[in-house]
């Protein structure tokens, strides 16, 4: 019986050690998540007025890097860094990932056609298609409008137990309201190279066709695919 008792004691100690290590791991993960949430919130506060929002497709390590660069270099230089990151190859990988989702099967050829225009620098053609397909996919999945100006939650707050994910979703909602869904009266002066869905799709903006705006539109599609993956159909409120 002595060997069996000793084996049980060793097993008990091992189980306790594993439990302690697991607890430490999740504590560390939670602390890291809180830190990332603060950084993402700061990044988006600075970037959204410039028509950018932190992309789910940026590598995790870039959160802290971009955060520190904002402190050191300022928004305009960081925007240039982000724009350069989304090379044609990187954007191609994003498009392929989006089109592989069942929710995008029906519109995948349209999106791929738009991406070919993007690669050929025909941004005046790629941007309206990306904007329209992002809206169509959102409506198909959630049965509600994507581009709304009202301060209303697009998604439930409990989409994830990670605070950083919740901050990303909240920032996306702010980006839609403050940038893409923003409207202008007939007498308003239209800003240069504007990235507002209403002005572009209704023909009031004529100088929107830039690489930066086309990347923004691709990342909008990326965001829509991201939030679709977070929540089942009709989980909006």
Whether residue 178 lies inside any domain: the answer is: yes
Model pLDDT, residue 153: 56
Q: Please, are residues 54 and 43 in contact by the beta-carbon 8 Å criterion?
A: yes
Q: Torsion over CA of 105, 89, 196 and 169, rounded to 10 degrees?
A: 70
Whether residue 4 lies inside any domain: the answer is: no
Higher pLDDT, 137 or 200: 137
Distances (CA, A) of 21 to 12, 17, 18, 28, 34: 14, 6, 5, 10, 20
**Separation of alpha carbons 142 and 153, rounded Å:** 13
Is residue 13 scored above 60 in pLDDT? no
Residue 126 domain boundaries: 34-230
pTM of the model: 0.78
State the total domains in the chain: 1
Whether residue 8 lies inside any domain: the answer is: no
Model pLDDT, residue 60: 62
Whether residue 69 lies inside any domain: the answer is: yes
Is residue 234 scored above 50 in pLDDT? no
Whether residue 20 lies inside any domain: the answer is: no
Confidence of residue 123 (pLDDT cuts 50, 70, 90): very high
List pLDDT tens digits, range 85-118. 899 999 999 999 999 999 999 999 999 999 999 9
Whether residue 133 lies inside any domain: the answer is: yes
3-state secondary structure 149-212: CCCCCCCCHHHCCCHHHHHHHHHHHHHHHHHHCCCCCCCCCCCCCCCCHHHHHCCCCCCCCCHH
Whether residue 3 lies inside any domain: the answer is: no
Confidence of residue 24 (pLDDT cuts 50, 70, 90): very low
Find all residues with CB under 8 Å of 153, minimum gap 6, and list them. Answer: 173, 236, 237
Whether residue 236 lies inside any domain: the answer is: no
Is residue 237 scored above 70 in pLDDT? no
Q: Please, are residues 196 and 179 in contact by the beta-carbon 8 Å criterion?
A: yes
Model pLDDT, residue 76: 85
Lowest mean pLDDT among 17-26, 114-123, 169-178: 17-26
Please name the helix (run of DSSP H) or strand (run of DSSP E) that holds residue 8, with its range, or none.
helix 2-47
Is residue 122 scored above 90 in pLDDT? yes
């Amino acid at each position: 019986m002595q060997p069996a008792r000793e084996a049980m004691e060793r097993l008990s100690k091992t189980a306790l050690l594993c439990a302690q290590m697991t607890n430490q791991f999740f504590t560390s993960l939670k602390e890291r998540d809180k830190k990332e949430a603060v950084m993402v919130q700061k990044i988006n506060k600075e970037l959204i007025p410039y028509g950018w929002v932190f992309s789910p497709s940026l590598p995790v390590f870039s959160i802290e890097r971009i955060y520190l660069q904002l402190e050191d270099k300022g928004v305009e230089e960081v925007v240039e860094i982000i724009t350069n990151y989304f090379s044609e190859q990187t954007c191609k990988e994003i498009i392929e990932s989006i089109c592989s989702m069942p929710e995008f099967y029906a519109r995948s050829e349209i999106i791929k056609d738009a991406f070919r225009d993007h690669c050929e620098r025909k941004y005046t053609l790629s941007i309206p298609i990306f904007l329209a397909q992002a809206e169509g996919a959102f409506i198909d999945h959630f049965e509600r409008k994507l581009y709304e100006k009202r301060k209303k939650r697009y998604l439930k707050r409990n989409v994830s137990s990670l605070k950083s994910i919740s901050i990303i979703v909240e920032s996306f909602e702010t980006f839609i309201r403050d940038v893409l869904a923003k409207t202008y009266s007939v007498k308003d002066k239209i800003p240069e190279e504007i990235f507002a869905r209403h002005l572009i799709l209704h023909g009031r903006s004529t100088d929107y066709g830039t690489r930066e705006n086309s990347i923004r539109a691709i990342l909008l599609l990326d965001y829509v695919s991201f939030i679709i993956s977070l929540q089942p159909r009709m989980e909006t409120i």
